[in-house]
Amino acid sequence: MDERKKGTRRRGEILEEAILHAAWEELSETGYTDMTMKSVATRAGTNKAVLYRRWDNKTELAIAAIHKYLPKITNDIPNTGSLRSDLCAYLHARVEPLRIIGVQTIRGLIMEPVVWRSIISSMPQIIERRSESKLTAAMAAILKNAELRGEISLEKLTPRIISLPLDLLQYELITKLEPVSDEVIEEIVDNIFIPLVHVQAGIIK
C-alpha cells in the first residue's frame, strides 16, 4: 500500500528497511532479471524516486538487499570425526548462501558490468592475501584435525594442495555461474582431493 494512502510518511532507517526487504522479496520470488525499481517501490509502498535517492540502479539495490538478508557464512571448523565428512560439511557451507540467492539472480548479477569490474579489480588483492586467507586457514585446520586422528600426514602437503578444494569450488562457481551441487562437492572430495592427499603421504587406498 502507498504511503500516501496510509496517511503516514516513513523516513530514514525505517523506510530503507522496508525497501531492502521488498527488494529481497523480489529477488526471492521473481529473480534479479525480472526485478525492477518500480516493482520494488510498489512492494515497499513508496515510489521510484525514493529508491533512486539511495541507490543509483537496481544492481546496487540488489547487492544491498543481499548483504542485509543473506545468511552470513560462518567460518566454523567442522570436526565430525572424519576428514571426508569435515571437508564435505565445510564446502557445503560455502555454497549454501548461493543456493538461497538462486541461479537466475547469480547469473543476472554476474552479467552486470559493475559487478564484473568489481570482481576483476579484486582479483590481485585476493591472490596477494591467499596465504592469509581465512578459508585457507580453515582448510589447514581441518587437515590438522585429520592428522591428529591419524588419518593423514601434513608433512608433504603444500599450500597449493591444501587450498585445492576451494580452488575447484571457485572454478565451478565461475565457469557454471550457479551453486555447486552436492554431487560435485563429493566428487571434489572423494575423487580428487582425498586420493591426492593419500598419494602425497604414501598411503595406498
Name the more confident of 119 and 55.
55
Contact (Cβ atoms closer than 8 angstroms) between residue 43 and residue 104 = no
Name the more confident of 197 and 105.
197
pLDDT band at 75 (very low <50, low <70, confident <90, very high): confident
pLDDT tens-digit map of 148-200: 999 999 988 998 999 999 999 888 887 887 778 999 999 999 999 999 999 88
Which class is domain 3-69?
mainly alpha
Residue 187 in grid coordinates: 566428487
Name the more confident of 96 and 78.
78
Least confident of 11-15, 68-72, 111-115, 146-150: 111-115
pLDDT tens-digit map of 37-49: 999 999 999 999 9
Name the more confident of 204 and 24.
24
Scored b (16 or more CB within 10 A) or e, 34-55 reads ebebebbbbbbbbeeebbeeeb
**pTM tops 0.75:** no
- pLDDT score at 189: 97
Contact (Cβ atoms closer than 8 angstroms) between residue 170 and residue 130 = no
DSSP letter at 71 equals P
| Arithmetic mean of pLDDT, 68-91 | 90
Domain ranges (residues) in the chain: 3-69, 83-201
Q: Which amino acid is at 174?
A: I
Q: How far is CA 79 from CA 85, 89, 139, in A?
A: 8, 9, 12
Whole-angstrom distance, CA of residue 52 vs CA of residue 74: 33
